[in-house]
Amino acid sequence: MTTLTSPHDLLAAVPFLIGYHPTNSLVVIALREEAVGMAMRIDFPEDLEAGQLDELADHLIAERADGALIVAYLPEEVIDSQYLLEPLREAIELRNLSVRECLEVRSGRWRSVLCEDLTCCPKSGNLLPEYNTSRITAEQVANGKPLPYVGIEQLRESIAPVDGDAELRALIDLVPEIDYESGEHLKDQRAGALAFNDLVEIFTREGICLDKVLIALVLVRLRDLQVRDYAMGVTDGENIDGLWAMWRWLLRIAPSEYVAPVASLFSAICYERGDGALAAKSLDRALVDDPRYPLAKLLRRVYSAGWPPESFANMRRDLHPKVCAALFSE
């Protein structure tokens, strides 16, 4: 995202950074040499214990940030947010990071906590700027970024399952599971990876795939770790937006018992693109489908630890050649 130069820029940027227009939320954004990094959002708390303050501040360290921006979207019943914002600012500054801006948003108005000029930031606040006319909105849309959802419920609905497809389910039931004891499993894994390539090619060209036999084969083979890891490694900086759209579509049509791999891979792409809220909600779908799914549980720990999004690209560069060699070297 472009450099933020004003409170208006910051207020317009937050919905793009977390994927929706927040309410009753505390948002902390990492800055690195003025470049905007990962945004962290939590429900606006009644209180934050020292450990929670440290966790938020340590996320900034994990992002290799040198500064932070804070935006507090206050519930109506909160009269004074300083009981929360002052300790948070102190926890950040104790790590030799500067808080560049700290805004309160309430009832359609905003004010800077750091600004002492009442002509600039009166106690009653300033009217929120028009979101649709913002420079940030124009730039993000021009760069192909979708408009943020109105709220968290709309975001959840964007990955909710569509009505069950009986034909697809029947075709899935016809795909045999891989027999790892037969000695022929590599052939099935390779066929699964090639089927995934075909799905990507069709979706990239047409924006959808109507070949339910192919979809069924891919969904079944994604339960295999080698095929799943191959699919994860196909992502790169040039195709990530197209694959984001494909994984979201596949997540919505995947029947139960086949959701966890798709939801986990979609979540990883969301996180890499900076869509933290959508990444988290996708993991929720994965863990509802399979509460013990290892990749989903691993990603949850990765997100909680504050890994920088670019770490996924580094992981793929290391892992994908090894997966390809295992699948196609013979």
% of the chain at pLDDT higher than 90: 55
What pLDDT, on the 0 to 100 scale, is given for residue 120? 84
195-217 mean pLDDT? 96
Kindly state the average pLDDT of the residues 191-197: 96
Q: In the prediction, which pLDDT does 32 show? A: 87
List, edge to edge, every strand of the sheet that includes 35-43: 35-43, 25-32, 67-73, 98-106, 109-112, 126-127
CB 255 within 8 A of CB 222: no
Mean residue pLDDT of the chain comes to: 90
111, amino acid identity: R
- At 291-304, the pLDDT tens digits run 999 999 999 998 88
pLDDT surpassing 70 at residue 106? yes
Neighbours of 249 (CB within 10 A): 19
pLDDT over threshold 90, residue 186 = yes
Average pLDDT, stretch 166-178?
95
**SS3 of 159, please?**
coil
Q: What is the pLDDT of residues 108-134, one digit of tens each?
A: 999 999 988 888 888 888 899 888 888
Predicted confidence at residue 2, as pLDDT, reads 64
Confidence of residue 14 (pLDDT cuts 50, 70, 90): very high
Closest CA to 14 of 69, 55, 52: 69
pTM: 0.82
Choose the weakest-confidence range: 165-174, 213-222, 318-327. 318-327
* Domains of the chain, start order: 7-151 (3.40.140), 166-328 (no CATH)
More confident residue, 22 or 45: 22
Burial class (CB in 10 A: 0-12, 13-18, 19+), 184: exposed
Q: How far apart are CA 245 and CA 36, in angstroms?
A: 24
Q: How many CB atoms lie within 10 A of CB 17?
A: 25
H or E element that contains 73: strand 67-73
Give the separation between CA 1 and CA 140, rounded to whole angstroms.
8
Q: What is the mean pLDDT of residues 325-329?
A: 88
